[in-house]
Amino acid sequence: MTVTAPSAFADSTPSPAATAKAPTGDGAKSICKREPKTEKRIERALNRLGGGADTLGSVARMQQREDNAKKEGHTAIATYLDHKLTYRKGLVTTLQQRQKDLKDVASWCAANNNGTK
């Protein structure tokens, strides 16, 4: 005789709370609230990326590591580090653009009562 327990997943229809509603706004109030923290985070990241060869996470440090790998003849490592370096250089450009965009957001927030207008 085989006894089976009832399945907890027998009802496969989603509950009404499980389905998400479409957004009703653009989230301006939340974006304005987070703007100062976001600005600081971007500034810290740019400072780190622009640091010298002794700064962890900097473009210069990655360049030095790639140069060292090339000197040692470790071509696979040098290629890997070159790809990471390319990404980091692109990240600098992206963060600089976000920083400019965020300045526009800050002025918009100031003019529009922090997104509640």
Percent helix, strand and coil across the chain, each to the nearest 5: 70, 0, 30
Average pLDDT, the chain: 89
What is residue 95's predicted lDDT score, i.e. its pLDDT? 98
Provide the token pair at 105: 């957001």
What is this structure's pTM?
0.74
Q: What is the DSSP string of 26-87?
A: --HHHHHHHHHHHHHHHHHHHHHHTS-TTSTT-HHHHHHHHHHHHHHT-HHHHHHHHHHHHH
Give 12-46 pLDDT, tens digit per residue.
Answer: 665 555 677 876 788 899 999 999 999 999 999 99
Locate tokens 């040098």: which residue? 78
Residue written as token pair 């920083």: 99
The reported pLDDT for the residue numbered 3 is 63
User: Which pLDDT does position 116 carry in this prediction?
Assistant: 82
